[in-house]
């Protein structure tokens, strides 16, 4: 992406959000659009893939607080576009050339860009020669409950900017090389005397790049940037929760000029299990027990996520909703230990009774007629 694009593209419009949108609103809109236009969901549809790249480019800038501020400041300074002479000049002036390649990777900082414009602020040499860290990339994946509990290795197909494969990022046509700008001697800057002070501005000869490309690469039009699609393997650790954002270091967009790669952030969606749930790191399960088991006590077999049941001792007089902790029978934690299984009992009331069971219950009711479970309820309702 050229710096001209960086300044002229309306990333807010691309993501369908307002300029005052919160980070959560930006993230939600990105996820919705990314799912809709992801190449895996639109195989063979080049327009969807281009739209996905545009969405990713916009999110890379707006999801980073500092880069979003720099983007807003840049567009405010140039009014969304730039032409010499306040629009009264002749011909189009290439803002991308003016600022060199700062910003072409989507991960470069406009602070560096404007630092070079106003005298480099103590930096040594042109900013275009400095190594740049690659942009962070965010994607999503959906796991089953079992996969989330145990951990799994997943494949991710990522699209990001990288050096043009045809010119190796030089911007020059194959077989040729850029030459050092003779006007600024490769610094990319020239000084202009304004009377009381001097202003360092991009070199008019090389437009701030420090290099002159006489024969530009036809594939990237001299920008040195291209799109790359790659598939990586990443490990999702055990114990992730629904909605959790996992950082995988060094798996984002490639760096520039020897800089490190960015990070990959994976937003995990976990499908619900038909039986088990989660409470913090622990697994939960609710099991039905009969009234005699709750009243008299019983040893109850309880399934676990790994398929091997455990026996839970239900003491006499257990009330409905009581929870028992079975240590070490939950799911793996990140440190390799196993969490606990929280077993909640639910007294099951039969819908129909055979004559023998009904007779037994009637005898039980008669034998316990002096025990009223609602005794004193009305008095407490009156505050007595």
Residues 264 and 335 in one domain: no
Residues 143 and 266 in one domain: yes
Q: Who has greater pLDDT, 76 or 352?
A: 352
Residues 347 and 281 in one domain: yes
Counted domains in the chain: 2
Residues 138 and 250 in one domain: yes
Per the prediction, the chain carries an average pLDDT of 78
Is this model's pTM higher than 0.95 or not? no
Q: Who has greater pLDDT, 304 or 87?
A: 304
141-186: pLDDT as tens digits: 999 999 998 889 988 887 766 677 778 777 788 888 888 888 887 7
Residues 284 and 252 in one domain: no
Q: Does the structure show a pLDDT above 80 at 80? A: no
Highest mean pLDDT among 62-71, 132-141, 245-254, 267-276: 267-276
Minimum mean pLDDT range among 44-48, 225-229, 248-252: 225-229
Highest mean pLDDT among 21-25, 203-207, 297-301: 297-301
How large a percentage of the chain has pLDDT more than 90?
A: 27
Please give the pLDDT value at position 356. 94
- Give the residue-averaged pLDDT of 36-62: 84
Minimum mean pLDDT range among 7-11, 152-156, 171-175, 306-310: 7-11
Residues 330 and 261 in one domain: no
Q: Does the structure show a pLDDT above 70 at 46? A: yes
Q: How confident is the model at residue 17 (pLDDT cuts 50, 70, 90)?
A: very high
Residues 148 and 259 in one domain: yes
Residues 338 and 228 in one domain: no
Q: Who has greater pLDDT, 11 or 113?
A: 11
86-118: pLDDT as tens digits: 333 333 333 333 333 333 333 343 344 343 333
**Could you tell me if residue 281 is inside a domain?**
yes
State phi, psi for 37 to the nearest 5 degrees: -110, 10
Answer with the one of 254, 271, 288 that is the final residue of a domain: 271
Please give the pLDDT value at position 85. 33
- Give the residue-averaged pLDDT of 305-312: 91
Minimum mean pLDDT range among 16-30, 67-81, 176-190: 67-81
306: domain CATH number is 2.60.260.20
Residues 262 and 347 in one domain: no
**Could you tell me if residue 55 is inside a domain?**
no
* Residue ranges making up the domain that contains 229: 133-178+213-271
Answer with the one of 271, 298, 316 that is the final residue of a domain: 271
- Give the residue-averaged pLDDT of 256-262: 76
2-to-56, 95, 122, 204, 286 alpha-carbon distances in Å? 15, 8, 25, 18, 58
């Amino acid at each position: 992406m050229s710096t001209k694009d960086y300044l002229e593209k309306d990333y807010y419009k691309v993501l369908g959000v307002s300029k005052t949108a919160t980070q959560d609103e930006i993230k939600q809109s990105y996820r919705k659009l990314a799912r809709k236009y992801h190449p895996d969901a639109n195989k063979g549809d080049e327009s969807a893939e281009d739209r996905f790249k545009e969405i990713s480019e916009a999110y890379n800038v707006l999801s980073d607080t500092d880069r979003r501020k720099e983007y807003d400041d840049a567009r405010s300074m140039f009014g969304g576009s730039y032409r010499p002479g306040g629009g009264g000049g002749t011909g189009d002036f290439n803002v991308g050339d003016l600022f060199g390649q700062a910003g072409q990777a989507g991960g470069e900082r406009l602070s560096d860009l404007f630092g070079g414009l106003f005298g480099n602020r103590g930096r040594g040499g042109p900013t275009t020669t400095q190594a740049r860290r690659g942009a962070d990339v965010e994607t999503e994946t959906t796991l089953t409950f079992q996969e989330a509990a145990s951990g799994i290795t997943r494949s991710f197909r990522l699209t990001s900017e990288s050096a043009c494969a045809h010119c190796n990022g030089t911007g020059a046509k194959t077989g040729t090389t850029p030459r050092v700008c003779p006007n600024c001697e490769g610094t990319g800057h020239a000084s202009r005397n304004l009377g009381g002070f001097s202003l360092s501005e991009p070199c008019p000869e090389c437009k701030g790049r420090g290099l002159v490309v006489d024969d530009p690469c036809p594939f990237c039009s001299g920008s040195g940037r291209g799109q790359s699609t790659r598939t990586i393997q990443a490990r999702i650790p055990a114990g992730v929760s629904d909605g959790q954002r996992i950082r995988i270091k060094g798996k984002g967009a490639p760096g520039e000029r020897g800089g490190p790669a960015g990070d990959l952030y994976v937003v995990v969606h976990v499908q619900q299990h038909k039986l088990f749930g989660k409470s913090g790191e622990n697994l939960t399960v609710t099991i039905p027990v009969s009234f005699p088991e709750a009243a008299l006590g019983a040893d109850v077999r309880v399934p676990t996520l790994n398929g091997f049941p455990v026996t839970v001792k239900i003491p006499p007089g257990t009330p409905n909703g009581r929870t028992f902790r079975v240590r070490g029978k939950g799911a793996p934690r990140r440190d390799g230990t196993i969490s606990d299984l929280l077993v909640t009992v639910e007294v099951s009331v039969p819908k129909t009774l055979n004559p023998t069971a009904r007779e037994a219950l009637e005898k039980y009711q008669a034998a316990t007629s002096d025990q009223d479970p609602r005794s004193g309820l009305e008095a407490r309702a009156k505050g007595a």
